[in-house]
């Protein structure tokens, strides 16, 4: 998981959402955050985004549909193809963690790097 923005490793709202997902799916989730400023080592970003960026060169983005179409045109000679869709969900801002979440969460933090790595057990 990238380590910046809304899913930063110290934000408990992310942990609460992941706890809810683990509970819903009834599976254990293992989370490993990239440290801040290290997403350049993320293989998805490294292998996908440069090709998408090339497909965007000299294109004027007049609307979301143009962006989506250009992303879907992204290919490589080794067979990369990209599927995209527009997420039109409106997300709530300013959400806060449930008052007793830290006491009731079933998160087991890693012994070596607890800030960045943990497992979430379903309830």
* DSSP, residue by residue, 14-67: HHHHHHHHHHHHTS-EEEEPPPTT-GGG-HHHHHHHHHHHHHTTT----SHHHH
Number of folded domains in the chain?
1
Predicted pLDDT at 84: 93
- For residue 123, pLDDT beyond 90: no
Query: The dihedral of CA 19, 24, 30, 34: what is its sign?
Result: negative
Predicted pLDDT at 1: 79
Per the model's pLDDT, the better-predicted residue between 116 and 45 turns out to be 116
How far apart are the C-alpha atoms of 50 and 42, rounded to whole Å?
13
CB within 8 Å of 121: residues ≥ 6 apart = 22, 28, 106, 107, 108
For residue 99, the enclosing domain spans 5-120
What would the mean pLDDT of 34-50 be, rounded to a whole number? 78
Neighbours of 12 (CB within 10 A): 15
How far apart are the C-alpha atoms of 98 and 77, rounded to whole Å?
48
């Amino acid at each position: 998981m990238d380590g910046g923005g809304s899913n930063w490793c110290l934000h408990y709202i992310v942990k609460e959402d992941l706890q809810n997902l683990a509970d819903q799916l009834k599976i254990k989730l293992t989370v490993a955050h990239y440290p801040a400023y290290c997403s350049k080592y993320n293989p998805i970003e490294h292998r996908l985004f440069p090709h998408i960026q090339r497909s965007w060169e000299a294109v004027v983005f007049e609307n979301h549909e143009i962006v989506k179409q250009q992303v879907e045109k992204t290919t490589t000679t080794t067979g990369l193809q990209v599927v995209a869709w527009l997420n039109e969900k409106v997300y709530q801002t300013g959400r806060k963690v449930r008052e007793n979440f830290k006491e009731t969460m079933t998160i087991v933090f890693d012994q070596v790097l607890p800030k960045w790595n943990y497992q979430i057990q379903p309830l």
